[in-house]
């Protein structure tokens, strides 16, 4: 008796799925040239009239994300953030 050939899965490539980017994360964080993840401070959208010049200046500063757990979460939410560096 001839052997039955199992044609399932033969010659077919596995489909690689694209990962979806969490848009809020990609807008809030950036990757520096050395690979650090940086962010800005929040609460700077409006009501700047009552803030001091110093407070407004400091709010534009970029801060490194310090905790490794947070960095891992950010990379999971925005997997292609390094490819789209600006």
Confidence of residue 73 (pLDDT cuts 50, 70, 90): very high
Q: 58 lies in which domain range?
A: 34-42+49-86
**Does 27 map to a domain?**
no
Number of compact structural domains in the chain = 1
59 within some domain: yes
Residue range 66-83: mean pLDDT, rounded: 88
64, part of any domain: yes
Q: Give the separation between CA 61 and CA 72, rounded to whole angstroms.
A: 23
Q: Using pLDDT thresholds of 50, 70 and 90, give the confidence band for residue 40.
A: confident
The Cα 59–Cα 79 span in angstroms is: 27
Residue 38 lies in a domain: yes
């Amino acid at each position: 008796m001839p052997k039955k050939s199992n044609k399932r899965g033969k010659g077919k490539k596995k489909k690689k799925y694209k990962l979806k980017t969490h848009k809020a994360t990609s807008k809030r964080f950036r990757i520096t040239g050395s690979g650090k993840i940086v962010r800005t401070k929040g609460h700077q959208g409006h009501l700047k009239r009552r803030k001091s010049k110093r407070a407004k200046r400091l709010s534009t500063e970029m801060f490194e994300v310090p905790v490794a757990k947070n960095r891992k979460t950010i990379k999971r939410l925005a997997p292609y953030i390094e490819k789209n560096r600006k």
